[in-house]
């Protein structure tokens, strides 16, 4: 490591403000509720990790996931795949979020958040069912001054996962 690097590392790194964090978490949910999948990758940093797993795997520290995207490019590909392979009966979602429990992140400039969710799925004919429950475990940082997910773990309570589920949660 050069002296130069040390100097850069020593600069204080600004963490996103409380309100920016809670707004990010809400906006993400509302975008998905609105079916605006194209907005989804934009909530993440360029090199972010998006990982959907079950509570069981997560508690055992297993790296196995149901969906794993590394980087915004991979997320954009996933959105494209969704648009071309939409075999679903039309439906949409209601993401109900609990309050975010916010604390310091793993590195300087990062905020950690834990937030429960319950997602209700509404079919075209009006049927509603509880689609998924779980928690979001997030690391949130500023990228060009905007709060983004550097990491979002979606930990599902149930191992019964709809195998056709390709939609971001």
Q: Which residues bind a second copy (CB under 8 A)?
A: 22-23, 25-27, 29-30, 33, 55, 92, 94-101, 114, 116-118, 120, 122, 125-128, 130, 133-135, 157-160
* Rounded Cα–Cα distance for residues 68 and 64 (Å): 9
Please say which residue, 73 or 98, places its beta carbon nearer to a second copy: 98
Please calculate the CA angle 44-97-61 and round it to the nearest 5 degrees.
65
Please say which residue, 69 or 154, places its beta carbon nearer to a second copy: 154
Q: The tokens of 55 are what?
A: 């509570």
Please say which residue, 51 or 58, places its beta carbon nearer to a second copy: 58
Please say which residue, 21 or 69, places its beta carbon nearer to a second copy: 21
For the bound state, the minimum distance from the C-beta of residue 53 to a second copy, rounded and expressed in Å, comes to: 14
For the bound state, the minimum distance from the C-beta of residue 139 to a second copy, rounded and expressed in Å, comes to: 17
Please give the distance of CA 23 from its chain centroid, rounded to a whole number.
Answer: 13
The contacts of residue 42 (CB under 8 Å, 6+ apart) are 72
Single out the residue of 91, 117, 105, 122 nearest to residue 25, CA to CA: 117
* Rounded Cα–Cα distance for residues 119 and 97 (Å): 9
* Rounded Cα–Cα distance for residues 68 and 110 (Å): 21
For the bound state, the minimum distance from the C-beta of residue 136 to a second copy, rounded and expressed in Å, comes to: 12
Please say which residue, 85 or 130, places its beta carbon nearer to a second copy: 130
For the bound state, the minimum distance from the C-beta of residue 149 to a second copy, rounded and expressed in Å, comes to: 16
For the bound state, the minimum distance from the C-beta of residue 6 to a second copy, rounded and expressed in Å, comes to: 34
Q: The tokens of 110 are what?
A: 């990062």
């Amino acid at each position: 490591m050069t002296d130069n690097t040390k100097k850069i590392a020593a600069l204080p790194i600004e963490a996103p403000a409380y309100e920016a964090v809670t707004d990010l978490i809400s906006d993400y949910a509302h975008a998905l509720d609105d079916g605006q999948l194209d907005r989804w990758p934009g909530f993440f940093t360029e090199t972010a990790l998006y990982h959907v797993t079950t509570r069981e795997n997560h508690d055992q520290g297993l790296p196995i996931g149901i969906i794993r995207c590394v980087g915004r490019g991979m997320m954009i590909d996933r959105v494209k795949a969704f648009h071309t392979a939409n075999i679903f009966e039309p439906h949409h979602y209601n993401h109900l979020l609990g309050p975010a429990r916010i604390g310091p992140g793993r590195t300087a400039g990062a905020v950690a958040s834990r937030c429960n969710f319950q997602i209700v799925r509404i079919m075209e004919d009006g049927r509603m069912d509880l689609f998924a429950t779980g928690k979001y475990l997030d690391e949130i940082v500023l990228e060009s001054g905007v709060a983004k997910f550097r990491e979002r773990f979606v930990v599902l309570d149930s191992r019964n996962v709809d195998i056709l589920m390709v939609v971001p949660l």
